[in-house]
Amino acid sequence: MKVIAYDHIVEQVAKLCQEANFDLGEDVISAFRQAVETERSPIGKDILLDLIENANIATENRVPMCQDTGVSVFIVELGQDCFIKGGTITNAINEGVMKGYKDGYLRHSIVNNPLTRDKSETYNSPAIIHIEMKAGDQLVIHMSAKGGGSENMSALKMLTPADGIEGVKDFILTTVEHAGPNACPPLVVGIGIGGNFERCAYLAKKSLFRPIGQHHPSPEVAQLEKDLMKNMNEMGIGPQGLGGDTTALDVKIELEPCHIAALPVAVNLNCHASRHKELRM
């Protein structure tokens, strides 16, 4: 049995939130650099170079790369032999988010009530927290600062078996087409296929936590990711929707079993500021 102190998690999560917003991952930066080489639109190239400069400024000055510091989304892998002393993991994460966002001058972007739009008293919390129980005594916390603009252009559809792979592709590409410049391309496109209504949305989100360039372990699914990315980059939307080759930086799919009547598909769009960090204890 491993014991981890509640306060330690609060401190570490606070740090994680700030790092996610200040330090763009090396995976995204190298995807930008690669895209600069292949992008044939001059303005598209300039935008990609500006995004690299923006990321450098954020890291050097410890300021957020984007003013939308997002909803904090967590996927927690909690080992069964791990014990959190002093409180629940959920409370520790929410406390860490409040501290990290407030102390780091990150934006408080959460309303308490979606209808009345009353701002919550709890600085940028509650976070969205998914807990997966695992064997062993490790605690792994994956964090993503997910922007609202790209989230707004995401979509879910309950397709049926008759729609098949073609129907799935069509829905995914239509979603990207419809998003155009709104979701801040170049995009990272997260796709969930299967499960049920809520599970496929979760799968789409979960796929976005994979580093850019890491394909699905199944060769068939990896091929589908590559094919979709090719289709997206042929659309001509380009960086910021101003025309170009680079509409998507990456396409990620997660797949799970589903009902014989069903073919749920969720497309979770992420802007180029694909901010995800992980913490192992």
Partner 1 sequence: MGKKQLSLPLSPEELATLRAGEQVELTGLIYTARDAAHKKIYARLSQQETIPFSLENAFIYYVGPTPAKPDQVIGSAGPTTSSRMDKYTPLLLEHGLKGMIGKGYRNEEVKESIKTNKAVYLAAIGGSGALLSRAIREAEVVAFPELGTEAVYRLTVEHFPATVIIDSLGNDWYIQAREKFQQERSKL
Q: Which two tokens stand for residue 100?
A: 């990290």
Q: Which two tokens stand for residue 50?
A: 């500006």
Q: Is 213 in the site for partner 1 (CB under 8 A)?
A: no
Between strands 275-280 and 139-146, the pairing is: antiparallel
Q: Sketch the per residue contact string, 146 through 175, with partner 1: x for CB under 8 A, - otherwise.
A: -x-x--x-----------------------
Q: Sketch the per residue contact string, 17 through 56, with partner 1: x for CB under 8 A, - otherwise.
A: -----------------------xxxx---x--xx-xxx-
Q: Is 251 in the site for partner 1 (CB under 8 A)?
A: no
Please choose, out of 2-10, 85-93, 155-163, 237-245, the segment that lies near partner 1 by the rule CB under 8 A: 237-245
Q: Is 230 in the site for partner 1 (CB under 8 A)?
A: no
Helix, coil or strand: residue 49: helix
Cα(15)–Cα(36) distance, integer angstroms:
31
Please choose, out of 74-82, 160-168, 178-186, 206-214, the segment that lies near partner 1 by the rule CB under 8 A: 178-186
Contact 118, 232 (CB under 8 A): no
Among 3, 5, 33, 57, binds partner 1 (CB under 8 A): 57
Amino acid letter for position 11: E
SS3 helix, strand, coil % of the chain, rounded to 5? 45, 25, 30
Q: How far is CA 126 from CA 70, 74, 107, 121, 277, in A?
A: 12, 11, 14, 10, 18
Site residues, partner 1 (CB under 8 A): 40-43, 47, 50-51, 53-55, 57-58, 61, 63-69, 105-109, 117, 119, 147, 149, 152, 180-182, 184, 236-238, 240-245, 271-273
